[in-house]
Chains A and B, each alone.
Chain A
Amino acid sequence: MSKTAQRRLLKELQQLTKDSPPGIVACPKNENNLFIWDCLVQGPPDTAYEGGIFNARLEFPKDYPLSPPKLTFTPSILHPNIYPNGEVCISILHSPGDDPNMYELAEERWSPVQSIEKILLSVMSMLSEPNIESGANIDACILWRDNREEFERQVRQSVLKSLGF
């Protein structure tokens, strides 16, 4: 299976270098290991994250693309769907079996036809539209819901800090 994963990852890398969507950069951390990728995600315009460039790490399992990869922001960012340790919690990164209540639609879940590009695009849309119904960072959820101004202020501050200002 590991061979399939490598071939598939190589193919996705080719595709991404040839034609990558705006605001996304992703490539393996080093040439010898295709299973850990570094990604850069641009903060979507017209949101508190605008102007920010966020660094994230993608870790692929050996049975990729059967199982989804894990996405972690390094360092973590303040967002209702990102755990304080940086791990991202969105439906596309979960296989359908993980959700016994069928809370998330099957189409939004991980399946072998999803790709790195689709994951990162989902992450961008997650940044602009948090889903507080299945929150990962409860404090961020509460702040986002009850005091949007303060939430956005804190986000902007950390964006500036991350850019070195």
Chain B
Amino acid sequence: MASDEEYSEAESDDSLYNYESRNTSVDLICPKNPNLTSDDSEFDIDEVDSSDYDEEDDIDNSLLATPVSPSTKKALSEGSVPNLKYECLTTKEIYEKMLKRINHLQPVFSIPPDDVLVLMQHYDWNEERLLEAWTEKMDELLQQIGLKSAEVNGSSDVRGIKHRNDFMCIICCEEKNTDTFSLECGHEYCLDCYRHYIQDKLHEGNIITCMDCSLVLKNVDIDQIMGHASSTKLMNSSIKSFVQKHHRNYKWCPYADCKHIIHLKDTSSLAEYGRLHYSPFVKCSEGHRFCFSCGFEIHAPADCNITSAWVKKAKKESENLNWVLSHTKECPKCSVSIEKNGGCNHMVCSNCKYQFCWICEGDWAPHGKSFYECTIYKNDDTKSKGAQEDPGKQLKKYTFYYRLFNEHEVSAKLDWKLGQTVGHKVKALQDRMGVSWIEGLFLIESIKTLNEGRTALKWSFAVAFYSDASHNLTKIFLDNQMLLAKAVEDLSELLQIKEPETIMKRKPEFYNKSGYVENRRTALMECGRDLLCKGICKPHDG
């Protein structure tokens, strides 16, 4: 470990590694326009609590935050964005906030909260516009939206459910003794028809009106007609469409079946992040991390542009590279087919016991001790530097990096599966070794570090592909990549151990290796960002 620490120290002294992160973080923490919410007219549900909130206070705080603590620096280099203020919400929470907002506004309008809700829905929760319209033409607005009947003498009918004998409903054309519903407009239909009508509209998320005029059915009416709380369903679809309409501030977590919504209050700093090639990563309460800009998984050290170029290219080339995706390889010695079912690249053929590297299919022995050579694309023809690389060679280079990318993606999936079973491992430790749950947590932490390391490594191949190979920094990047690859493989191998006794015996190794992966990852991220900032790595149609 001593040598590793030396390395990272040497790194920070090296001018090449001076990533201007200090300036960067100052910029980020003290944005040019600290009072950002004011010019953003978009609905901000959080203003609920801001009635007695001092704006100056906020500015002072942001100025005070200027000195960069080491932890901030680390967080920045991780690609996460410490001062990106966001919150993770569920539809229920959004609904509650909406209700809170409505109760807050209700005295201004002096109409029932249900009516305010309809008004707000109609104005897409843009309070400013609503209040403007309200002060200008209150009565007209109520009529236009359908909260008030247009006919003055329309008071003869009472809103609600009535029972009628021999009622002829003009929708279903049935004459029967039935319950009916009508609003003040007197357009009366049987309850069955009304139920079918509402059922049909619930998923659209729009305000539901009378079937024959624009008078609005409020949530209480809907619940009364349906006989249960169906209006919540309407509110859910309404919130869904709200999130879609305000996609700049609200994003659904892209993970399958995850129902959380990330609300970013201030999007103005996003451009700044893009300029500095940071990606605004957010994390939902389920722990899913994704990039708020492009909705992709964590893709540091690559930025959003490199990511989208890489993904597009992968789609384009996928047919040429189908063979890359095959999951089996033949043992280089005895040619038996081998499927990789664990995350580590150190393979032992179960047939002939030959140890080899999954990536280069070479003997494992040189990998174990010296640097992990498999991540370097060896440019055979060193003389042709400066000139445009010919397409065939470009494809070869791409194929090489894509293959590595894919290997690590597959490995990451297997690691993830490993992570699913880690609970059992910890349990086994508890049962067999008498270790407490807290003490066993290091296993879970290690898996997490491994996953993060592998994701960073995976995306670093995209950066490597788009980088100018002749530049010195690219070489440093590749060195960093190699070191991380080695660190990740080591940790991955350690995590393959199944016997609880061995795991406990080698516990310090888990700590050391995880810490090392963490350090290498941070270094690679910074180096990659530097490549991007200096324009050495940029997307091109290679």
Give the contact stretch, choosing among A3-11, A33-41, A72-80, A134-142.
Answer: A3-11
Determine if A113 and B200 form an interchain contact, defined as CB atoms under 8 angstroms apart. no
> B172 near A: Cβ within 8 Å?
yes
Q: In the complex, what distance in Å separates the CA atom of A149 from the CA atom of B431? A: 92
Contact A63 B171 (CB under 8 A): no
Max count, chain A CB within 10 A of own CB: residue among B172, B209, B212, B213: B172
Q: Which of A1-28 contact B (CB under 8 A)?
A: 1, 4, 7-8, 10-11
- Does B2 make an interface contact (CB < 8 A)? no
Given known contacts A63-B200, A97-B206, A112-B197, A107 and B213 CB-to-CB distance under 8 angstroms: yes
- Decide yes or no whether B214 CB sits under 8 A from chain A: yes
Residue in A1, A10, A66, A96 whose beta carbon sits within 8 Å of that of B206 in the complex: A96
Decide: A7 and B212 in contact? CB cutoff 8 A. Answer: no
Residues of B within 8 Å of A67, CB to CB, are: 200
Chain B residues near A97 (CB-CB < 8 A): 201, 204, 206
Query: Would you call A43 an interface residue if the criterion is a C-beta within 8 Å of the partner chain's C-beta atoms?
Result: no
A4 and B169 alpha carbons, distance in the complex (Å): 11
Q: Please tell me if the beta carbons of B209 and A65 are within 8 angstroms of each other in the complex.
A: no
Alpha-carbon distance between A4 and B176 when the two chains are bound, in angstroms: 14
Known: A66-B197, A112-B193. A8 touches B172 (CB 8 A): yes
B206 x A111 contact (CB < 8 A):
no
Q: CB-nearest residue of chain B relative to A67?
A: B200
Contact with A along B142-186 (1 / 0, CB 8 A): 000000000000000000000000000011111000000000000
Task: Give Cα A91–Cα B477 distance, bound, in whole angstroms.
Answer: 61
Contact: B187 with A113, CB < 8 Å? yes
Contact A7 B173 (CB under 8 A): yes
Q: How many residues of A contact B (CB 8 A)?
A: 17
Question: In this assembly, does A132 line the interface, its C-beta being within 8 Å of a C-beta of chain B?
Answer: no
Please tell me if B359 contacts chain A, counting CB pairs below 8 Å: no
Closest residue on chain B to residue A111 by CB atoms: B211
Contacts of B172 in A (CB 8 A): 4, 7-8
Of all chain A residues, the one with the shortest Cβ separation from B204 is: A97
Q: Find residues 94-146 in chain A having any chain B CB closer than 8 Å to their own CB.
A: 96-97, 106-107, 111-113
Assuming A96-B206, A97-B206, A113-B212, is B196 touching A66 (CB within 8 A)?
yes
Total count of chain B residues near the partner, CB < 8 A? 19
Give the chain A neighbours of B211 by CB distance below 8 A: 111-113
Query: In the bound complex, what is the Cα–Cα distance between A96 and B213 (angstroms)?
Result: 12
Closest to A113 in B: B212
Which residues of B lie under 8 Å from residue A106 when comparing CB positions? Answer: 209, 214
Task: Output the nearest chain A residue to B170 by Cβ-Cβ distance.
Answer: A113
What residue of chain A has the Cβ atom nearest to residue B194's Cβ?
A112
CB distance from B194 to the nearest CB of A (A): 9
Of B173, B189, B212, B213, which one neighbours A10 at CB under 8 angstroms? B173
CA distance A97 to B238 in the complex (A): 13
A113 touching B201, Cβ below 8 Å: no
- Report if A8-B209 is in contact (Cβ < 8 Å); known contacts: A97-B204, A112-B197, A113-B187: no
Docked Cα-Cα span, A106 to B403, in Å, equals: 55
Q: Are A7 and B174 in contact, CB atoms less than 8 angstroms apart?
A: yes
Q: Is the CB of A65 within 8 A of B206?
A: no
A112 adjacent to B171 (CB under 8 Å): yes
Nearest CB on B from A10, distance (A): 7
A residues less than 8 Å from B212 (CB atoms): 111, 113
Most buried by B among A4, A11, A63, A67: A4
**Alpha-carbon gap, A46 to B523, bound state (A):** 81
Are B196 and A8 in contact (CB-based, < 8 A)?
Answer: no
Shortest beta-carbon distance from A111 to chain B in Å: 5
Closest B residue to A66 using CB positions: B200
Contacts of B174 in A (CB 8 A): 4, 7
Determine the chain B residues whose CB is within 8 A of the CB of A8 once the complex forms.
171-173
Q: Which residues of B contact A113 (CB under 8 A)?
A: 170-171, 187, 211-212
**Separation of A158 and B456 alpha carbons in the complex (Å):** 68
CA distance A38 to B45 in the complex (A): 53
In the complex, which residues of chain B have a beta carbon less than 8 angstroms from the beta carbon of A111?
211-212
Residues 196-219 of B at the A interface (beta carbon under 8 Å): 196-197, 200-201, 204, 206, 209, 211-214
Q: Which residues of B contact A4 (CB under 8 A)?
A: 171-172, 174, 193, 196
A65 nearest in chain B by CB position: B171
B292 CB to closest chain A CB (Å) equals: 25
Q: Closest CB-CB distance, B234 to chain A, in whole Å?
A: 13
Q: Which chain B residue has the least Cβ–Cβ distance from A8?
A: B173
Q: How far is it, in angstroms, between the C-alpha of A130 and the C-alpha of B489 when the chains are bound?
A: 70
CB distance from A118 to the nearest CB of B (A): 12
A-B contact sample (13 more), CB < 8 A, given A4-B172, A7-B174, A113-B171: A4-B174, A4-B196, A7-B172, A7-B173, A8-B172, A67-B200, A96-B206, A97-B201, A106-B209, A106-B214, A111-B211, A112-B171, A112-B211
List 9 A-B pairs, minimum CB-CB distance, nearest first: A11-B173, A113-B212, A97-B204, A4-B172, A112-B171, A111-B211, A8-B173, A113-B211, A66-B200
Q: Which residues of A contact B (CB under 8 A)?
A: 1, 4, 7-8, 10-11, 63, 65-67, 96-97, 106-107, 111-113
12 A-B contacts (beta carbon < 8 Å): A4-B172, A4-B196, A7-B172, A8-B173, A10-B173, A63-B196, A65-B171, A66-B200, A97-B204, A111-B211, A111-B212, A113-B211
